[in-house]
A and B are shown apart, each in its own frame.
Chain A
Amino acid sequence: MAEGIAFCRPEVVCAYPITPQTHIVEALGEMVRTGELKHCEFINVESEFAALSVAIGASAAGARAYTATASQGLLFMAEAVYNASGLGLPIVMTLGNRAIGAPINIWNDHSDAMSMRDAGWMQLFAETNQEAVDLHIQAFRLAEELSMPVMVCVDGFILTHAVERIDIPDQADVDAFLPPYEPVQVLDPEQPISIGAMVGPEAFTEVRYLQNYKQNLALRLLPEFAAEFEARFGRDSGGLLRTYRADDADLLVVAMGSVNGTIKDTIDEMRADGVRVGLVTLVSFRPFPTQALREALVAAKHVVVIEKSFAIGMGGQLANNVDLALRNAAGAPQVHSVIAGLGGRPIIRPSLHKVLRRAVADPWEGMHFLDLNETIIAKELHHVRKVRRSGPTAENILRHLSVGMQQEAAK
């Protein structure tokens, strides 16, 4: 991925190490040192907050800026995340999707992306490493066109640490697709302006409205850029969403990121069994392609949303947004919400088969947690009821788990 990003000719790269993005930034740093990546300042920062802040300064001063983070790091820079989008700076950031603690967890899920879904950044989810590379190229173009930052979400470990076949683009092709950064606003001593003034009640709403307006423009630009990308690079990457075997499907699955690969294999197996099932892969989560999703889903009888996060106390964010897309549609399908893969729990085909069949045969209310260990839950609830000082939940569960494993081994 570092090579792909290098082709975008970033001028200032600044990032703070956090699993699972470290090797991307390390590779970029090395490329700067060897001279492979020219005209680039690589800055070792002392926190994620500093990382995005350096990018903000660089971008405001007219340089193409890039950073990367995940999980806790994204939260640590949260103030700057809102600042960058509020100021309208076209920063591109790789988000190596990782669960947010506590409990501390280094594995993949989408809770980090979800935590910043309201911040005004565009959020694009890569299905494969090829798409991850391609989305970064499109992201810079999109960001600079709209003066708005973009997060490219890449599943931690599953994609970030996977070695797979990709086509490395040609520098000339990337240059043709992504021209040099021409800022809409810039700190220039020859034409001094003030950026970042306080805005009161008289104008704040209008500023926010225009941010939303720009994201709506992105709904048109994303497919346009994807089409241009395909014409130049020969690959279908990006856009708002894409479908797989969806045309005659009664049951449609909606998902983001790498899990789509596994779902496709599952769908092929189910289709072989005669089940009319298909997939809608959502690439753009922000802006949320309400209209396009509605068109893709409305004809189905059942929609199963599979997502790697949920809003505690409410439910799946993606499921919630899918409901929104289908609101008031005549004859709209039933929406079923599945929460899977939290904290890196593998999403496997047997479980997918079961849950997709169950959605039709024996639907549930609210969220269904895939592969939930109900025994452990019961044990913990029982334990908590017995004694006040029951101890930290996470540690208790780990203990129940290891006891359970020992009992299994003894059998």
Chain B
Amino acid sequence: MTDVSTTSAVTQKLRFYQKGTFTVGNRLVSERERSVQASIDRSNALTCGHRACQGCGEALGARYAIDAAMRATGGKLIAVNATGCLEVFTTPYPETSWQVAWVHSLFGNAAAVATGVAAAMRVKGRGDVRAIAQGGDGGTTDIGFGCLSGMFERNDDVLYICYDNEAYMNTGVQRSSATPPAARTATTPAIGSEPGNVFGTGKSVPKIAMAHGIPYVATASVADLHDLERKVTKAMGIRGARYIHVHVPCPLGWGSAAHDTIRLARLAVESGLFPVFEAEHGHLTASRKIRRKVPVTEYLQPQKRFAHLFSSEHGPQQVAKLQAVADRNIVEFHLLDQEGDV
């Protein structure tokens, strides 16, 4: 009797879920795989001493992003910051934790100010000096939306990085147009038949950026900092308008544990609620596949801002709606397709 299991006709496809490493301080990996942060020569553009909360996703994301940009440009970088948590906790008078040329103008004009910086560099024959604009979701999706769109439409040579913690955190957790459905914020209380942020609201700035046809759009998460660095590095190698939208949990605003920041970020990605993808000139070019799909509840439960979904009568309905959002993302961005598919 032939033992079928040993014939070569039967091939078992092995899937390697993890290539490389998520750990970012690791200097034991090859040079190529090492993060910018792992290097002693990193610019430390956002250095220690700032006043961010314990577990702040934005401080984490900004540190990785700006150092990656500094390496990519050989330190020839000017950063423009919108008003918000990042600006506030990095420049408490009379100190600054920025070791990069940095300017803060207003809440809604970071994109326009960066346009001005880039123009000044061009006119002075210093096109090698690049401009980065950064802001939170409030400064980007709401009050800064007009200037952002203007910058996109002109294809100004600016990389705009949005650190999305899904509400106006610095002023006390009020909702923004990036606040996810059903989330409780100071201005969307968990009361009534649609507790939290009302459904049907919210806009995807990455998709709007794609609609402008700009050279590069990407979403990233502090769950995968190698990926964030890679995307920033890639963006700095491109001229024209670029946009990176980084998902950054906020323990204070989300009501989560400080030590859960990266875990929550990963759950957002793995549930499909935060799709991680890249696009060029309006077309999706790559998406990060979900390794192990989780139901949205696993992501929502550790956050007090979603607590009402698990205690109210309307909760299950809203959870179902959120699951539907995640499922739609999975389809739209091909988050569960075979590796190599787009």
Interface residues of A in 159-188 (CB under 8 A from B): 187-188
With a CB–CB cut-off of 8 A, which chain B residues contact A47? 146-147, 150
Interface membership of chain B positions 274-301, coded 1 if the CB is closer than 8 angstroms to chain A and 0 otherwise: 0000000000000000000000000000
Nearest-CB residue, chain A, relative to B115: A54
With a CB–CB cut-off of 8 A, which chain B residues contact A189? 75-78, 100-101, 129
Expressed in whole angstroms, the Cα–Cα distance for A63 and B125 within the complex equals: 11
B120 touches A56 (CB 8 A): no
Known: A46-B149, A46-B153, A192-B98. A58 touches B103 (CB 8 A): no
A40 touches B123 (CB 8 A): yes
With a CB–CB cut-off of 8 A, which chain B residues contact A60? 103, 105, 113, 116-117
Interface membership of chain A positions 93-123, coded 1 if the CB is closer than 8 angstroms to chain B and 0 otherwise: 0000000000000000000000000000000
Interface residues on A, range: 35 or more
Expressed in whole angstroms, the Cα–Cα distance for A189 and B96 within the complex equals: 16
B124 touches A80 (CB 8 A): no
Residue A195, interface by CB 8 Å:
yes
A202 touches B77 (CB 8 A): no
Interface membership of chain B positions 91-119, coded 1 if the CB is closer than 8 angstroms to chain A and 0 otherwise: 11110101111111111110011111111
Interface residues of A in 286-324 (CB under 8 A from B): none
B120 touches A57 (CB 8 A): yes
B106 touches A61 (CB 8 A): no
A79 touches B117 (CB 8 A): no
A61 touches B109 (CB 8 A): no
Secondary structure call for the B interface: mixed
With a CB–CB cut-off of 8 A, which chain B residues contact A80? 105-106, 109
With a CB–CB cut-off of 8 A, which chain B residues contact A44? 154
Contact of B116 among A61, A194, A199, A202 (CB under 8 A): A61
Nearest CB on B from A38, distance (A): 10
Expressed in whole angstroms, the Cα–Cα distance for A58 and B156 within the complex equals: 13
B146 touches A50 (CB 8 A): yes
Interface residues of A in 19-54 (CB under 8 A from B): 39-41, 43-47, 49-51, 53-54
Expressed in whole angstroms, the Cα–Cα distance for A62 and B78 within the complex equals: 12
Expressed in whole angstroms, the Cα–Cα distance for A199 and B94 within the complex equals: 7
Interface membership of chain B positions 1-15, coded 1 if the CB is closer than 8 angstroms to chain A and 0 otherwise: 000000000000000
With a CB–CB cut-off of 8 A, which chain B residues contact A14? 116, 119
Nearest CB on B from A155, distance (A): 29
Nearest CB on A from B22, distance (A): 31
With a CB–CB cut-off of 8 A, which chain B residues contact A49? 108-109, 112, 146-147
Residue B263, interface by CB 8 Å:
no
Nearest-CB residue, chain B, relative to A11: B123
Known: A12-B119, A57-B117, A62-B120. A195 touches B102 (CB 8 A): yes
Expressed in whole angstroms, the Cα–Cα distance for A65 and B118 within the complex equals: 13
Residue A197, interface by CB 8 Å:
yes
Residue B122, interface by CB 8 Å:
yes
Residue B88, interface by CB 8 Å:
yes
Residue A405, interface by CB 8 Å:
no
Contact of B94 among A45, A61, A203 (CB under 8 A): A203
Nearest CB on A from B111, distance (A): 8
Give the interface of A toward B (CB within 8 A): 11-12, 14, 39-41, 43-47, 49-51, 53-63, 65, 79-80, 83, 87, 187-189, 191-200, 202-203
**9 nearest A-B residue pairs (beta carbon):** A57-B116, A196-B104, A46-B150, A63-B120, A53-B112, A53-B109, A57-B113, A61-B120, A58-B116
Give the interface of B toward A (CB within 8 A): 75-78, 80-81, 87-88, 91-94, 96, 98-109, 112-124, 129, 131, 146-147, 149-150, 153-154, 156
What are 10 A-B pairs at a CB distance below 8 A? Answer: A41-B122, A50-B115, A53-B112, A53-B116, A57-B119, A60-B117, A79-B107, A79-B108, A189-B100, A193-B102
